[in-house]
Amino acid sequence: MIRTLIVDDEAPARDKLRRWLSEPADIEIVGECGNGLAAAEAILRLTPDVVFLDIQMPGLSGLEVAAQLEPATTPQIVFVTAFDEHAVKAFELAAVDYLLKPYDKDRLVKSVDRLRRRDPAAASAAVRAARRRTGTSERLLVPQGESLELLDAASIVWLEADDNYVHVHTAQATFMLRRTLADLLAQLGERFARIHKSAAVNLAEIKALSPLFKGDHELELRSGATLRLSRRYKDALFTRLG
Amino acid sequence: MPGTGTVNRTLLALWSLFWLLMIVVSVADHRDSGNRWWEPLLWEGSSCLVATGWLLLQRRAGARWQGLLAEPRRWFLRHIAWTPLLAVSFVISVYALRHGVYALAGVTYEHPGWAYVFCYESLKITLFTSLWLSIIFGLESFARWQQERERLLTLQRHLAESQLGQLRAQLQPHFLFNALNTISSLMQVDVARADALLAQLADLLRASLQAGARQTTSLREELELSRRYAQIMQARFAERVTVSWDVAPDVGDAEVPTMLLQPLLENAFKHGVELSREPVAIRIAARRGDEQLHMMVRNSGSRLAPNGRSGIGLSNCRARIALLYGDRARLDVAEEGDGVVATLVQPWRSAPS
């Protein structure tokens, strides 16, 4: 079964997808969402195989939702948009699957056929294209109890890797994300720098540096906390700090 | 832009040449006639001095008659009316000057009798004035014509740009494709409703294609189009938007710029409904007051862009009302309560039926 999530902020558009996607026996519709944040939550909660994702939605756009996903674990994404071909080119979505509204049944069937082949490369291409388009994320989606919360990237103090999880530390709280540190850093961009194999820090939060043994340093943060800077990442950090 | 400055500079050059010529001719004519060398200089110089005074007066006071340039007869009559005063004051001041200088030099200024002098000088002055008035009229008309042409060209350019922008704003492909998708979905379950939406979409398209050709329409027609637009948007966003109309019964015949309300309504949907997860209320109001037409589009659930920049839609609307009504119309967009309100005030005019 292909477990499928439908995301569009317009009810008639969802109806149309549901009606046609209900016909193939191997597709199971696991949920429908009317906005980006609900979609991101549903993707985490339901772990669908496929998401039909509208681009222009209130709150969080379809591209922003996709940008928050990790390429390695992302469901397959079919962007659905009323933008024209020209805009789609600008969005660099050519490499990924997309439906232009209004589409007919044949076009949807073609998309579904492609989905059945389950090409993981295409899935990660969608996330990368979305990230290229949205640029460095200023906001990060983090789980808060049962739901998701949008965290301002500037408010993150440091990131701590822990097996398959990353702890996101802000001044007030710590959130746990099921992501790799490398991918999170790729999404958040220049604001953060690695200081250790399993830690990265918000450059704006660094207050002082003092040398320890064997080329390691101690980082003092504005919050008062201290972190260790391993010598492997020392030069790169010094360059970034100028 | 050519203006009074250019006219004055050209006039000064011509005036200087003219008097230089008069003085040279006069000096040459009287060289062998036994006069003292300075006498021809004094005769022409005194005339030049007084005439220049009158020219300066014309430059200052004549500005108020610039509006008459389109009616040459009235313009000339207004100027010619001053000729008697000009003649009398000219003869008196010029001859006073000459007698004064001669007296200082200890000689007598000999000239024909006063009656002859007066007639002769008046005739000369009338001819002289007519000549220079014609030159001034020609220069000013030319400058005015150039200004007018410049203004017309600017106006045409603005109109053309605005019309292009107008078409661009209306045929928003995004709106069109979304509406088509809604219809494509509806026709599977409700053929009659899909059919109605398709007709409404066609009306909108037709109107937006025609809008380029017609600058104004009646508010009744404009509201009718806005209703069609709102109905399509309501079909798309169903439970997420309520639209209410508060239109005074006596405003239907008011003249309004074609497709002006529609972009405002489009903004209300775009920034209110499409970007808000809460249900949004949109209200459209129109009323007459103080010989003005007041229109308003309000939406809940949005803020203005923090940088204070307005979109292409709004600046296009502003450009159009400025072209049509000058500074007697204005379009303000402000935050109000939990939303944004666009207010449009323009002079009241009845649309031709």
Q: Which residues of A touch B171 (CB under 8 A)?
A: none
Task: Say if B107 falls within a structural domain.
Answer: yes
Question: Do both A19 and A52 map to the same domain?
Answer: yes
For residues B195 and B248, is the Cβ–Cβ distance under 8 A? no
Question: Do both A179 and A91 map to the same domain?
Answer: no
Predicted local confidence at residue B292, as pLDDT: 92
Predicted local confidence at residue A13, as pLDDT: 93
Q: Measured between alpha carbons, how far apart are the two ends of chain B, in Å?
A: 40
Question: Do both A89 and A6 map to the same domain?
Answer: yes
Question: Do both B273 and B143 map to the same domain?
Answer: no
Task: Say if A119 falls within a structural domain.
Answer: yes
For residues A168 and A140, is the Cβ–Cβ distance under 8 A? yes
The C-alpha angle with vertex B11 and arms to B5 and B14, in degrees rounded to 5, equals: 145
Domain edge (last residue) among A106, A134, A162: A134
Cross-chain residue pair B178–A10, CB shorter than 8 Å: yes
Q: Which residues of A touch B180 (CB under 8 A)?
A: 101-102
Q: pTM of the full predicted structure? A: 0.63
For residue A193, the domain's CATH number is 2.40.50.1020
A105 interface with B at CB cutoff 8 Å: no
Is residue B215 predicted with pLDDT exceeding 80? no
Whole-angstrom distance, CA of residue A146 vs CA of residue A149: 10
In this structure, the strands spanning A192-196 and A199-202 are antiparallel
Question: Do both B204 and B328 map to the same domain?
Answer: yes
Of A132, A50, A127, give the one whose Cα is nearest residue A91: A132
Predicted local confidence at residue B168, as pLDDT: 47
Question: Do both A35 and A118 map to the same domain?
Answer: yes
Domain edge (last residue) among B119, B136, B164: B164
- The amino acid that residue A67 corresponds to is A
Question: Do both B327 and B299 map to the same domain?
Answer: yes
Question: Do both B68 and B112 map to the same domain?
Answer: yes
Predicted local confidence at residue A49, as pLDDT: 93
Task: Say if A100 falls within a structural domain.
Answer: yes
Q: Which residues of A touch B238 (CB under 8 A)?
A: 11-12
Tokens 């509806």 belong to: B186
Dump pLDDT digits (tens) for A5-27.
999 999 999 999 999 999 999 99
Task: Say if A139 falls within a structural domain.
Answer: no
Q: Which residues of B touch A15 (CB under 8 A)?
A: 185, 188-189
Tokens 């439970």 belong to: B239
Task: Say if A147 falls within a structural domain.
Answer: no
In this structure, the strands spanning B339-347 and B292-300 are antiparallel
Is residue A90 predicted with pLDDT exceeding 80? no
Question: Do both B189 and B159 map to the same domain?
Answer: no
For residues B257 and B216, is the Cβ–Cβ distance under 8 A? yes
Average pLDDT, chain B: 86
Cross-chain residue pair B235–A82, CB shorter than 8 Å: no
Question: Do both B177 and B260 map to the same domain?
Answer: yes
Question: Do both A75 and A113 map to the same domain?
Answer: yes
Name the residue of chain A whose CA is nearest to B237's CA: A10
CA distance to partner chain A, nearest, from residue B265 (Å): 18
Q: Which residues of A touch B186 (CB under 8 A)?
A: 12
Dump pLDDT digits (tens) for B130-145.
999 999 999 999 988 8
Task: Say if A211 falls within a structural domain.
Answer: yes
Q: Report the share of chain B in percent with pLDDT over 90.
A: 38
Confidence band of A92 (pLDDT split at 50, 70, 90)? low
Domain edge (last residue) among B131, B164, B197: B164
B189 interface with A at CB cutoff 8 Å: yes
Question: Do both B103 and B184 map to the same domain?
Answer: no
Which residue(s) pair with A142 in the sheet? A149
Dump pLDDT digits (tens) for B273-286.
877 778 899 999 99
Long-range contacts of B154-159 (CB under 8 A, 24+ apart): B155/B323, B158/B319, B158/B323, B159/B323
Domain edge (last residue) among A134, A166, A193: A134
Domain edge (last residue) among A76, A103, A134: A134
Predicted local confidence at residue B171, as pLDDT: 56
Count of CB pairs separated by less than 8 Å, A with B: 66
Tokens 């007598």 belong to: B108
Whole-angstrom distance, CA of residue B274 vs CA of residue A205: 37
Cross-chain residue pair A58–B277, CB shorter than 8 Å: yes
Which residue(s) pair with B114 in the sheet? none
Is residue B232 predicted with pLDDT exceeding 70? yes
State which residues form the domain around A107. 2-134
Burial class (CB in 10 A: 0-12, 13-18, 19+), A104: exposed
Domain edge (last residue) among B164, B186, B208: B164
Is residue B12 predicted with pLDDT exceeding 90? yes
CA distance to partner chain A, nearest, from residue B178 (Å): 6
How many CB atoms sit inside 10 A of residue A18's CB? Answer: 16
Question: Do both A73 and A122 map to the same domain?
Answer: yes
For residues A230 and A216, is the Cβ–Cβ distance under 8 A? yes
Predicted local confidence at residue B66, as pLDDT: 78
Which residue(s) pair with A193 in the sheet? A201
Task: Say if A144 falls within a structural domain.
Answer: no
Q: Which residues of A touch B274 (CB under 8 A)?
A: 9, 56, 58
Task: Say if B112 falls within a structural domain.
Answer: yes
What is the pLDDT averaged over residues A218-228? 89
CA distance to partner chain B, nearest, from residue A165 (Å): 31
- The amino acid that residue B139 corresponds to is L
Task: Say if A170 falls within a structural domain.
Answer: yes
Helices (H), chain B: 4-29, 38-61, 72-80, 83-105, 114-170, 173-186, 191-211, 219-237, 261-267, 312-325
In this structure, the strands spanning B241-247 and B280-289 are parallel
SS3 A95: coil
Question: Do both B57 and B114 map to the same domain?
Answer: yes
Q: Report the share of chain A in percent with pLDDT over 90.
A: 40
For residues B183 and B194, is the Cβ–Cβ distance under 8 A? yes
Dump pLDDT digits (tens) for A95-136.
578 888 999 999 999 999 988 887 777 788 888 888 887 776
Is residue B161 predicted with pLDDT exceeding 70? no
Of B127, B212, B117, give the one whose Cα is nearest residue B165: B212
Question: Do both B132 and B237 map to the same domain?
Answer: no
Q: Which residues of B touch A84 (CB under 8 A)?
A: 173-174, 177
Long-range contacts of A37-46 (CB under 8 A, 24+ apart): A37/A141, A37/A148, A37/A150, A37/B277, A38/A7, A39/A5, A39/A7, A39/A65, A40/A65, A40/A68, A40/A141, A40/A148, A41/A147, A41/A148, A42/A5, A42/A7, A43/A5, A43/A69, A43/A75, A44/A143, A44/A148, A46/A3, A46/A5
Confidence band of B271 (pLDDT split at 50, 70, 90)? confident
For residue B200, the domain's CATH number is 3.30.565.10
Predicted local confidence at residue B296, as pLDDT: 95
Q: Report the share of chain A in percent with pLDDT over 70.
A: 94
Dump pLDDT digits (tens) for A74-85.
899 999 988 876
Question: Do both B74 and B220 map to the same domain?
Answer: no
Question: Do both A13 and A128 map to the same domain?
Answer: yes
Question: Which residue in A7, A8, A9 has the most chain B C-beta atoms within 10 A of its own C-beta, making it the best mutation to test that interface?
Answer: A9
Number of structural domains, chain B? Answer: 2
Question: Which residue in B168, B171, B175, B178 has the most chain A C-beta atoms within 10 A of its own C-beta, making it the best mutation to test that interface?
Answer: B178
Question: Do both A187 and A114 map to the same domain?
Answer: no
B184, B186, B274 ranked by CB distance to A56: nearest: B274
Question: Do both A9 and A77 map to the same domain?
Answer: yes
Which residue(s) pair with A180 in the sheet? none
Identify the top-confidence range among A30-34, B80-84, B161-165: A30-34
CA distance to partner chain B, nearest, from residue A100 (Å): 8
Whole-angstrom distance, CA of residue B19 vs CA of residue B128: 12
Tokens 């389109």 belong to: B70
Q: Report the share of chain B in percent with pLDDT over 70.
A: 92
Predicted local confidence at residue B255, as pLDDT: 92
State which residues form the domain around B117. 4-164
For residue A9, the domain's CATH number is 3.40.50.2300
What is the pLDDT averaged over residues A202-225? 87
Task: Say if B353 falls within a structural domain.
Answer: no
Number of structural domains, chain A? Answer: 2
Question: Do both A67 and A183 map to the same domain?
Answer: no
For residues B295 and B343, is the Cβ–Cβ distance under 8 A? yes
**Which A residues 24-43 touch B at CB under 8 Å?**
34-35, 37
Here the ipTM equals: 0.77
Name the residue of chain A whose CA is nearest to B177's CA: A82
Residue, of B330 and A145, whose pLDDT is higher: B330
Is residue A189 predicted with pLDDT exceeding 90? no
B174, B180, B238 ranked by CB distance to A11: nearest: B238
Is residue B1 predicted with pLDDT exceeding 50? no
A18 interface with B at CB cutoff 8 Å: no
Is residue B344 predicted with pLDDT exceeding 90? yes
Q: How far is CA B201 from CA A151, B105, B206, B228, B313, in A?
A: 41, 96, 9, 7, 20
Is residue B169 predicted with pLDDT exceeding 60? no
Burial class (CB in 10 A: 0-12, 13-18, 19+), A86: exposed
What is the pLDDT averaged over residues B203-229? 83
Task: Say if B188 falls within a structural domain.
Answer: yes
A89 interface with B at CB cutoff 8 Å: no
A34, A84, A103 ranked by CB distance to B173: nearest: A84
What is the pLDDT averaged over residues B326-350? 90
Task: Say if B176 falls within a structural domain.
Answer: yes
For residues A235 and A190, is the Cβ–Cβ distance under 8 A? no
Question: Do both A97 and A157 map to the same domain?
Answer: no
Question: Do both A122 and A233 map to the same domain?
Answer: no
Task: Say if B336 falls within a structural domain.
Answer: yes
Which residue(s) pair with A199 in the sheet? A160, A196
